[in-house]
Amino acid sequence: MKKILQDLSLGELENFILSLGEKKFRAKQLYEGLTQGKAVEDISSLPKSLKARLCEEYENMPVKIKAKFVSSDGTEKYLFEYADGNVVEGVLMKYKYGYTQCVSTQVGCRMGCKFCASTLNGLLRNLTAGEILSQILIVNALHKADAAGQGAEKRAVTNVVLMGSGEPLDNYDEVVKFLRLISAEDGIGMSPRNISLSTCGIVPKMYDLAKEGLPVNLTVSLHATDDVTRARVMPVAKAYTIDDILKACDYYFQKTGRRYYFEYTLIAGENCDNEHADALVKLLKGKPCHVNLIRLNEVKERDLKALDDKAAYRFLGRLEKGGLSATLRRQIGVDIGGACGQLRAQYLGE
């Protein structure tokens, strides 16, 4: 596989361009073109000969849109294809304040969560920082017109969530590099505050992340209130206890001043009776956190069932009454295979 220019910061590109015997300003032109989501050969400010030289060693464009689906509610679902033929998926959610893109960090996943389609075939490989970034660059480019008037002509995508396929903290170095690239002032310049990183709770890496100086919104997939129940749906719970996770979250808050989030997917008969709501209140009350309740997107390969709406609101009400800050996620994009890994699983199946 060829190398990827989007993996490089402006400084790294400058060194690289100088090493080719080219003038330094070419790096800036190249970087600007890449930031606009262009393929190397479409960057008109660069001489043809340089572009040809670059494309000998580097991908002209690391990612292609293999398929795009638009939901009746406007949500867009993408299937991205990388140079080696691997595919990952992404979602674009359109809100009044801007667009939020959900990106994938790995091809597949090895965490084995019982409700999740991303993990069905295990982990194929990690994505590089530039491959993750390219998912956003290409969607931004597609929606260029929508960015007008938002005060940031470089981006239609204003928020990013690392909640697609893969476990971000299992691909730590590339994900942190991605966070630096996307927040670089001379590039997309997205504030870490507009980025949410969701993890199944790889505790040592949560401590590492707290020390990076990248105050992203940390979100932990909890899905249970005790370790035994949690281990039934999330094998990672055998390595790290809920108690370990809560300590790491508190450390994250101490270091970054950012409140943290929990995701709690409601699985009928498993984790959403009154006793679970009360246990969740007991666990989290008084902590600087917010709980996002998620409706289970039933995956056909797994026999876990979603909770009905009425019961979901009852669960939410009990958390709120207990003093927790919580919301029940509105379900969007259901008609286009909204849940993690569903689209890719469908594609691979075909």
Least distance in angstroms from the C-beta of 48 to ligand SAH? 42
**C-beta closer to ligand SAH: residue 221 or 225:** 221
The mark string for 266-295 relative to ligand SAH (x by CB under 6 A, - otherwise) is ----------------------------x-
Q: Is 289 known to be catalytic?
A: no
Using the minimum distance from each CB to ligand SAH, give the nearer residue, 61 or 209: 209
Is 340 a binding residue for ligand SAH by CB under 6 A? The answer is yes
Q: Binding mask 131-160 vs ligand SAH (x if CB under 6 A, - otherwise)?
A: ------------------------------
Cβ proximity of 330 and 75 under 8 Å? no
Cβ nearer to ligand SAH, comparing 202 with 281: 202
Long-range Cβ contacts of 343-349 (<8 Å, 24+ apart): 343/69, 343/77, 343/79, 343/89, 344/79, 344/87, 344/88, 344/89, 344/117, 344/118, 344/165, 345/117, 345/120, 345/121, 345/299, 345/301, 347/66, 347/67, 347/79, 347/87, 348/87, 348/121
Is the CB of 199 or the CB of 217 nearer to ligand SAH? 199
The single residue of 14, 89, 167, 263 carrying the catalytic annotation is 89
Q: Residue 340 catalytic?
A: yes
Question: Hey, which residues between 194 and 213 contact ligand SAH (CB under 6 A)?
Answer: 198-200
**299 is an interface residue for ligand SAH by CB under 6 A:** yes
Q: Select the residue interacting with ligand SAH from 78, 82, 115, 261 (CB under 6 A).
A: 115
Site string for ligand SAH, 164-193 (x = CB under 6 A): ---x--------------------------
221 lies in the binding site for ligand SAH (CB under 6 A): yes
Beta carbon of residue 340, minimum distance to ligand SAH (angstroms, whole number): 4
- Relative to beta strand 98-102, strand 87-95 is antiparallel
Give me the least distance between CB of 20 and ligand SAH, in Å please: 39
Please identify, using beta-carbon distances, which residue of 35 and 229 lies nearer to ligand SAH.
229
Binding of ligand SAH by 113 (CB under 6 A): yes
Stretch that binds ligand SAH, among 112-120, 125-133, 144-152, 205-213 (CB under 6 A): 112-120
Total of chain residues touching ligand SAH, rule CB under 6 A: 17
Q: Does 163 bind ligand SAH (CB under 6 A)?
A: yes
Indicate which single residue of 195, 263, 272, 344 sits in contact with ligand SAH (rule: CB under 6 A).
263
The residues annotated as belonging to the active site are: 89, 340
**Under the rule (CB under 6 A), what is the footprint of ligand SAH?**
113, 115-116, 163, 167, 198-200, 221, 263, 265, 294, 296-297, 299, 339-340
